[in-house]
Structure 1
């Protein structure tokens, strides 16, 4: 895991290497200061040699300035290295997510991926910066201070060896005990982000149904769950401070007692004991810093695990060894197709689907909620891969195409229409980034969007708010249809994409399709019979199976589900007319 994460340091390796070098130089300067202080006391103060005191004192000032300079440089390069590391890691994760299939995104959830891209990467960034500075500094300081302590008095230095062993065991226990709780915390962060995302996305519905209290309570529960898990982890971590204090105080007491005896016995000078106490502080402070780094590493380790999970995820959709880069036409063939989101044949969403669609045909799909309509059309551009059977486009199995090539020839207007922040032109050019203004207008006219766009003060330069909140549902649908048309695809799929427009506009859109894109295969999922009754073929789905295929007249005479839907809508229209 660590090796994989460190591979994203890349161009910031130099900064990462330079930081410990400056830390080592800073430590060397700081280690020299207590020794110089001891010389001043023994050779200057006690002997009354003021010239010696001034000379060595000046050297101490110079050493201190160097220590400060090296410390500042270490901080600068550590910050640059950690920020660059986080940038590379975030980009790698984002690029990886772009390659995910829908099933991979479902596995992690949108909120979970957002948490990993933000909170988890920030945790790893902070840990990396601290590691560059603190993982280098405390060990170097501790080892240098230990060496100098053994140089001054080997017997007294053994106290530090015992303190290090004791603290090492205590920190190991704390780390292993707290880590599982932090893993739970970050999983709960996913739930919290999901609650916030859902609330903000559906804020209009929340206010319309006066559900602010319910949403607040749901958020409180998710937040409290994080709090509870953090408390469990912190209850373990808090032992770090008293253990450190006990070790430091015990070491100082032992040094004071034994050091005083050595001075009385003339085995040690006062200056040496003063230097020893300074090294004692250096060693114990190094241990304190090291414990803080290790505790932060516990938190970062949980985040690192979650980041690597995303980086290691392999999409179940990929190109074959020799993909095909050209789609001949818009013909579609489903042969004995079964599909399950879980890839288990005992939990099929679509069962034994057999359909033949000629290029340029218009196909209508009717069915109840959960019948598999959306799932069926998502298999054509390989948003999911089938579980069994085969799907051919242009006479070739979709799995043999380059995925990007296939999807460029299959234009989908999704059930949930999505517009992005930007002008209408910018949104439309998602379909074709090189489209001219004339092409944009032509596509909007086909989608019956040009008329309302012309009524905006800024026309095609009108700014669309995030999620398209400043246009109506019907306007949003027509913009999405126009965007799809700009791709000039061989297959156009409308997944209930005219549900928010009136029947007259719906009829005009269908008429424009017939006249403007006769060679494009059109698949229309709809709830209204009027949206599909002129189709060349209508497919009736029920519980993931084909219940009937035929023209409008054929299905009225042969299919009970289609007849029932038609009669309910005709009677509903008649009753509306009577009123």
Structure 2
């Protein structure tokens, strides 16, 4: 928690003013009972009406001053805490953006969302209260004790006896509740995970009639969170009634013994009234403190989770010195590359060596789980190789900054991803400054112009969240256009033609030939028809290179490739 509070530095002026305002407010509230005591003892008892008006007016001014300070403190504390929350969210988001896929896999998307939203909100809310209470509570408590001692030292023994009892109550209750707050945040993660999977997979859930099972799964996570919340809130809810019970018994004792002291002539009526108010101020200060003890444990659990994200160092780091100047074109060379997924026993790729030259199309084909997508993900450094090297233009891709490396690459992922916005904005995601002519040309090459022009708003048509208002094939073509408008040195197509019909697939590949003439093109595909015309075909089997060559060569030399071809094409098509 203290580590995160360093981010309040830009708001130190606001925080300082809050502390000053709260200090003045506390002084005014401590001063008011004494003024009231004087009105009763000197004005009312003595029948001095002008004195009552004079001191009463002064009390009004003190009260107004305290109220103004309270408003100012509330405004500035909310402003500082809001700014802190904004900066922390930006910092967490920026840090998460630097994560490799390994860090995303380790924490989980649902947990990252919870930590960036719910956890930061918890810390922000506590901070708003803390800026006021951390000054007011001790000021009112110790100030009230001093003023009570000033009014009557003997009667103050009641307060001195009550304070340790309240402290023990607070400690015993909070110590039981603190561990449960961390558990509760973890269960919020679980609930978010179930909800996210349910919403993103709604089509699959409905098609397999799994709605009741998913409801049961959600209810289980929901009830689990509810049970923990009820348990921790039941513990914390007992704090206030116990404290109020102690406070009321304290008030009875003060009135009882105070009345005896007045009867004995040791205390004035006004002083007893002021003493009662000071006693309540002390008790309410402890109540405020107890509220902080309720909120701080949960915020502390949230702060730990936020710090876990901020302290996590990305596996993939930029080199101190970039070698961009020495790169030569966009050729991609794998030199004895092996890769293990973190925690996996078996290697996903072993001993991969090949060269994808500029101006040539290199296709990668193989069975499910053979490592095709993994191989593609190593080129832009979504993961780093376990051993060996990947050279881009003659330079190890780890010697380039991630920005420099990825600026040379146009990736079309296996699962097409579109963003909320217009079609033109989605295509310009590949090149922000692309002209309308470049956008239209990229769409034409990607065979997307026809369906885009048929839409009412054309390239200004809105894409819904997740691209739900376009088909799978249309999403793929727009994703391809997004990569084409970038005009990179290297194109990576990760099974990017799977949703296209054969006619569109053939037209697209023909158009790509002229468009990507100077670039290295790597195509991962399941269809033999997509890879047949490639300059080089790499056959993967169980994470290893089974064969390399063009279609004609592989038909003669690779039994595995022949099996793949004969499983998809007729004898006439093969011939």
Matched, 1:332 2:343: no
Aligned pairs (5 A) from 1:40-55: 40-55=39-54
The residue matched to 1:100 in structure 2 has which SS? Answer: coil
- TM norm structure 2: 0.96
Query: Following TM superposition, by how much is the alpha carbon of 1:423 offset from its aligned partner in structure 2, in angstroms?
Result: 0.8
Residue in structure 2 matched with residue 565 of structure 1 by the alignment: 564
Q: How many angstroms does 1:572 deviate by?
A: 11
Task: Name the CA distance, whole Å, in 2 between partners of 1:204 and 1:132.
Answer: 48
Partner of 1:503: 502
Whether 1:58 and 2:57 are equivalent positions in the alignment is: yes
Instruction: List, as ranges, runs of 4+ consecutive aligned residues in structure 1 with deviation greater than 4 Å.
Output: 571-574
Q: CA deviation at 1:499?
A: 0.3
Give the Å deviation of 1:36.
Answer: 0.9
Compare 160-169 and 294-303 and name the one that shifted more. 160-169
* Residue of structure 2 in register with 1:250 after alignment: 249
What displacement does 1:164 show? 2.4
The answer on 1:530 being equivalent to 2:516 is no
Following TM superposition, by how much is the alpha carbon of 1:252 offset from its aligned partner in structure 2, in angstroms? Answer: 2.0
Task: Deviation per CA, 1:392-436: give whole Å up to 9, x if none.
Answer: 111111110111011010111001101111111111111111111
For residues 368 and 234 of structure 1, the distance between their equivalents in structure 2, rounded to whole angstroms, comes to 54
Distance 1:18 1:330, change over 3 A: same
| Contact persistence 1:93–1:311 (CA under 8 A) | yes
Determine the C-alpha separation between the residues in 1 that align with 2:413 and 2:209. Answer: 29
Contact 1:9–1:88 (CA under 8 A) maintained in structure 2: no
SS in 2 for 1:155: coil
How far did residue 352 of structure 1 move?
1.9
- Asked if 1:234 corresponds to 2:233, the answer is yes
Secondary structure of residue in 1 paired with 2:537 = strand
Three-state SS of the structure 2 residue aligned to 1:136 is: helix
Note the 1:131-150 alignment, pairs <5 A. 131-150=130-149
What is residue 387 of structure 1 aligned with on the other side?
386
Q: Give the C-alpha shift of residue 175 in structure 1.
A: 2.8
Tell me, in whole angstroms, the C-alpha distance in 1 between the residues paired with 2:213 and 2:85.
37
Structure 2: segments with no counterpart, 5+ residues: none
Structure 2 distance, partners of 1:222, 1:411, is 41
Q: Which residue of 1 aligns with 2:308?
A: 309
Alignment length (residue pairs)? 572
Match of 1:167 in 2: 166
Q: CA deviation at 1:188?
A: 1.4
Matched residue, 2:221:
222
Q: Which stretches in structure 1 are left out of the alignment for 5+ residues?
A: 575-579
8 Å CA contact 1:37–1:275 kept in 2: the answer is yes
2: distance between equivalents of 1:537 and 1:162? 88
Please say which of residues 212-221 and 158-167 is displaced more in the overlay.
158-167
Counterparts of 1:284-433 in structure 2, within 5 Å, are 284-326=283-325, 327-342=327-342, 346-433=345-432
Q: Quote the Cα distance in structure 2 between the aligned partners of 1:89 and 1:137.
A: 26
Secondary structure of 1:411 counterpart: strand
Q: Paired residue for 1:577?
A: none
* Structure 1 counterpart of 2:444: 445
Aligned-residue RMSD, C-alpha: 1.8
SS of 1:154's partner is coil
* Shift in Å, 1:573: 9.8
1:67-113 alpha-carbon deviations (Å, 9 max, x no partner): 21111111111111111111111111111111111111222211111
2:139 maps to 1:102: no
* Contact kept in structure 1, 2:92 and 2:309, CA below 8 Å: yes
Question: Is the partner of 2:565 in helix, strand or coil?
Answer: helix
Counterpart-to-counterpart distance in 1, 2:556 and 2:157: 98
- Given that 1:89 and 1:121 are in contact with CA atoms closer than 8 Å, whether structure 2 keeps it comes out as yes
Normalised to the residue count of structure 1, the TM-score between the two structures is: 0.95
Structure 2 residue aligned with 1:262: 261
Give the SS at the match of 1:500. Answer: coil
The alpha-carbon deviation at position 49 of structure 1 amounts to: 2.0
Moved more, 141-150 or 552-561: 552-561
Aligned pair in 2 of structure 1 residues 572, 216: CA closer, same or farther (>3 Å)?
farther
Deviates more, 1:403-412 or 1:208-217: 208-217
Q: Specify the SS of the correspondent of 1:519.
A: coil
